[in-house]
Structure 1
């Protein structure tokens, strides 16, 4: 039992250290005093799983896999997947970013479809949904390219890469899309924590 506990503790600590957050160019000083930043989520080149499936490849495979287990469950999953971006993943990212800034008394907020001189483009590069078997589990992972640009000129002002942001919760979480949502929440949270010093 002790060995199992130590193994799980090691696995958890490995996951916690897995996220890489790298500033590639620029800084966020331009955000100081900005009340709202437009945010766009781009899933057009997203890859999935260790096999790097495109979304067009992944969805029918997943539907077939689920239908083999329970007839009709694949189509139910497809509808959940299609709603997840707009109803779960994007809002999680925005909510956690804004929550961190609010705690630090920073008035800047992210908002989709906003009128703003600046836009944050969240380009989703890779998603691994993870799995949960009760006593053993693996969190989701989300890799994104985060680029702040001038809304009118598209000039790049600040660029960051977030690799393998972990998506997990305490206790069991058997829903793949919810785990992925936690990866987006972690990404938004980490971004806010890394740039808050520029805008205070």
Structure 2
């Protein structure tokens, strides 16, 4: 039993360190004097799981699977999944962005709806792996995104582009909620992106 628990911990630790963040393009220096940055989230092209299902197909399949086991459970889950973007994932990303900037004593705010801000961060969500938790063994969620800094009034002008692959999502102890695990992946994405912006744009 102890060996099994140890293997589980090592497995999760390895998965937790697998995030890959790369700068595709951009000079970050223009951000230095900015105090407010608008943020938008784009889920229009997201795929789910290793076989890259569309979100619609994933939701349909998962709801049917849960309903087949316990009638009505899948219908309830569909509502939880639909609300996760606004209630968990987007807020987690923003929370960690702002927390990291605050800890570094940088007077910058990232939030949705800041349409008067000169620049906008577009979080294009590319891929989500919800992970799983079977009490003794588990695998964290993973979130892959493209992060673009654009001019708010001319969003076709991409000034910075960063890819974040396989940002891990998990919590200590057991976490049986797919939506919550994915939320931790968004938190990790926000944390890593904030540190990158500080390093390259807010020295």
Tell me whether the two structures share a fold, i.e. TM-score over 0.5.
yes
Partner of residue 150, structure 2: 149
Q: Give 1:27 deviation, angstroms.
A: 3.0
Per the alignment, residue 83 of structure 2 pairs with: 83
Contact 2:12-2:138 at 8 Å conserved across structures = no
Aligned to 2:182: 180
Unmatched 5+ residue regions in structure 2?
Answer: none
Deviations 1:63-95 (A, max 9, x none): 100101111011101111111001110000000
TM-score normalised to structure 2 length:
0.95
Are the structure 2 counterparts of residues 2 and 78 from structure 1 closer, same or farther at C-alpha, using a change threshold of 3 Å? Answer: closer
- CA separation in 1, counterparts of 2:50 and 2:196? 28
**What CA distance in whole angstroms lies between the structure 2 residues aligned with 1:7 and 1:74?**
32
Distance in 2 (alpha carbons) for counterparts of 1:5 and 1:68? 31
Query: Hey, what's the Cα distance between the residues in 1 that align with 2:8 and 2:56?
Result: 35
2:15 and 2:143 map into 1 onto residues whose CA distance is 12
Deviation at 1:9, TM superposition (A): 3.7
1:170 aligns with 2:192: no
In the superposition, the TM-score normalised over structure 1's length comes to 0.96
CA distance in 2 between counterparts of 1:61 and 1:84 reads 18
Quote the offset at 1:16 in angstroms. Answer: 2.4
Q: Which aligned pairs between 1:21-170 and structure 2 lie closer than 5 A? A: 21-114=21-114, 115-154=116-155, 155-170=157-172
Kindly indicate whether the alpha-carbon contact (under 8 Å) linking 1:66 and 1:73 is maintained by their aligned counterparts in 2: yes
Secondary structure class of the residue paired with 2:160: strand
Once the two structures are superposed, residues 29-50 of structure 1 have per-residue CA deviations (whole angstroms, 9 ceiling, x without a partner) of: 2111211111110000000011
Alpha-carbon separation, structure 2, partners of 1:78 and 1:9: 31
Aligned length: 200
8 Å Cα contact 1:33-1:108 kept in structure 2: no
The 1-side partners of 2:81 and 2:16 are apart by 26
Give unmatched runs, 5+ long, in structure 1. Answer: none
Deviations 1:98-122 (A, max 9, x none): 0000000111111101121100000
Q: What is the alpha-carbon distance in structure 1 between the residues aligned to residue 19 and residue 27 of structure 2?
A: 20
